[in-house]
Amino acid sequence: MAGRLVIIGAGQAGFALAAKLRALKDERPITLLGSEPCLPYQRPPLSKKYLLGEMSFDRLLFRPQAWYEENNVDIRLSTPVEAIDREARTVRLFDGSAITYDTLVFATGATPRRLPSQIGGDLDGVYTARDKADADRLADEMKAGRRLLIVGGGYIGLEAAAVARKLGLDVTLIEMADRVLARVAAKETADAMRAIHQAEGVVIRENTGLKRLIGEDGRVKAAELSDGSVIDVDLVIAGIGVVPNDRIAAEAGIETANGILVDDREQSSDPNVYAVGDCAVFDWKGQKIRLESVQNAVDQAEAAAGNLAGVSLPYRPKPWFWSDQYDVKLQIAGFNLGYDETVVRPGAREGSLSVWYFAKGEFIAVDAINDAKAYVAGKKLLDLGRTPDRAAIADPSFDLKTLIA
């Protein structure tokens, strides 16, 4: 039997790694360390169905407590890690105790960026949206008629806006860039999503930053924006990105660069230490990237499990993402990094469309808005390594199935 595996982080990636090892009949001792007080759970529904009261928390759990006992996974909750000693191969916990490991995996995820305290980020009523504790706090705050300011027009901000409008809040979203989704999607996708939100009553102000939050008795009451205007607010959600949780690895001398650097076997600069999920940085077509998605967390963790169990296979990511907003499903296949051309294809249904990305003539990604057929076809083309004809893609009468037959 292989020696003890210690996994730091009991989120999507940490759980997927432990579960895959057991599915592969790997019997090594596994200790799974989670900083939260609850069993591993799905995060995406937290800010949607859970916050809306449409799904109870127990339905978000990956497995009940009995699964960990039956599979000999020593799961320890409310157990934050203070440091690791690579020479002694020990993990030191905040309570002063230590756990010895033969192999260590970081599945520590990422932490939302908070608004700076000097501009009012520490005021009551200012939130991030990442874990169950965040969702529970927001559930108590998000009441019909209240005024919500969302800072950041990425997916987190837009999803928060959709949920808030469903709950009846008045929502203003500000974005410093010249458009929403500026970092992650083409203008055509951004235009479509902006129009959807504006139709639902969200006030979107682009080219607009936050100068400061104004408090009263320690509670946020207003916001001064970069254009000099002041708006009254009852609560604020910051959707301004995340920071990978790589501090402990870096302090232990493991190579990091906005995340823990790993090779295509998920191995760090220390051969006894691996990293998976949002905290891991790996090579993608000659560039170092982190993929913040459920798909990557699961696929990378399962690849690491295979390598640990003796099935040595390189990780070849095939990214896909999704975002649910109102009754709109945005599905994304591929990774649009470095695109230099887009083709828009109208969908069969009113309001549906797809945006196809190309880089140096090669098809690299597709965004599909309420267009499952375009998503499926695009994903299959990416899997096959094929680049479709642009004129065919742009023609809504063209049958996409012929491209993947």
Domain ranges of the chain: 5-111+242-308, 114-238, 327-403
**Mean pLDDT computed over 92-111:** 96
The answer to whether the beta carbons of residues 276 and 282 sit under 8 Å apart is no
- Rounded distance, CA 175 to CA 158, Å? 11
- CA 372 → CA 127, 315, 353, 391, distances in Å? 33, 27, 10, 20
Q: Is the pLDDT of residue 1 over 70?
A: no
Residue 159, CA distances (Å) to 48, 129, 175, 205 in order: 8, 10, 14, 16
Q: With DSSP H G I counted as helix, E B as strand and the rest as coil, what are the percentages for the chain, rounded to 5? A: 25, 30, 40
Q: What is the pLDDT of residue 33?
A: 98
Q: Which helix (H) or strand (E) segment is 210 a member of?
A: strand 210-216
Indicate whether 217 pLDDT > 90: yes
Task: Quote the pLDDT of residue 380.
Answer: 95
Q: 103-106 and 5-8: which strand pairing?
A: parallel
Domains 5-111+242-308 and 114-238 in one fold: yes
Query: How confident is the model over 180-195, as pLDDT tens digits?
Result: 999 999 999 999 999 9
pTM: 0.94
Measured on CA atoms in the order 59, 31, 292, 263, is the torsion positive or negative? negative
Tell which CATH architecture fits domain 5-111+242-308: 3-Layer(bba) Sandwich (3.50)
At 312, is the pLDDT very low, low, confident or very high (cuts 50, 70, 90)? confident
**So what's the pLDDT on residue 76?**
97
Q: Hunting for tokens 């020990």 — which residue is that?
A: 90
pLDDT value, residue 404: 84
CATH code of 327-403, in short, is: 3.30.390.30
pLDDT at 169 over 90: yes
User: What local confidence, expressed as pLDDT, does residue 253 receive?
Assistant: 97
Q: Report the CATH number of the 114-238 domain.
A: 3.50.50.60
Most confident of 14-23, 53-62, 396-405: 14-23
CA dist., res. 405 & res. 399, Å (int):
11
